[in-house]
Amino acid sequence: MVNNSPLVLPALRPGDPGLPDEWRLYMQDTRERTFNNWPFTEGCACTPERMAAAGFIHCPGGNSPDVAQCFFCLKELEGWEPEDDPMDEHKKHSPACPFIALKKKAEELTLSEFLKLDKERVKIKMSKVMTQHIDKFQTKAQTVRGSLEELDKDE
C-alpha cells in the first residue's frame, strides 16, 4: 500500500541538521537567505522573496552581482531589471522545469511525490555534470589531437 499522506517528516524541516543541503533548497526561506546582497530589494518585481518563490538562489560572480540560478533545473539568469517578474522569466527561459510546474508547496508533497520530484532534480544535475565532463574531455582531446598533428608535420 502506498502512503499518500502529506510529507510530515523531519526531512523537510529547515532547521534539521540531518537534512541534505539539496533538500534544504526546497524550502523557500532557505533560498531567500541566499539573496543577502541582491541588488533589487524594494519597489521591484524581482525581490528576494519573489526570486526564491520562483525557485532561484543567488549566486553572484565577480562582475555579475545579479546572477540567479534555479536550484532545480540549474538555469542561470543574469541581467535582471527591476520590473522583471521572476516566475515569468523562469517559465520563459526554462519552461520544462518541474519545480515551476508544481501545484503545491514542497512541504505539502507526499513522500512518494517528493521522492519522484527529487529524482528529476538529480537527473537534471547529473546530465549537466556529465555534459561538463564531456565538453572538458572533448576540449582536451582536441588539444592532444592538434599536438599529435604538429608532431607528425615535424617528421
Q: Model pTM? A: 0.79
DSSP structure class, residue 5: S
Q: What is the mean pLDDT of residues 34-49?
A: 93
Distance separating alpha carbons of residues 68 and 85, to the nearest angstrom? 13
8 A C-beta contact, residue 71 and residue 25: yes
| E strand or H helix at 153 | helix 111-154
What would the pLDDT profile of 62-73 be if each residue is shown by its tens digit?
888 899 999 999
Whether the predicted pLDDT of 35 surpasses 60: yes
- The domains located in the chain, with CATH, are 10-154 (1.10.1170.10)
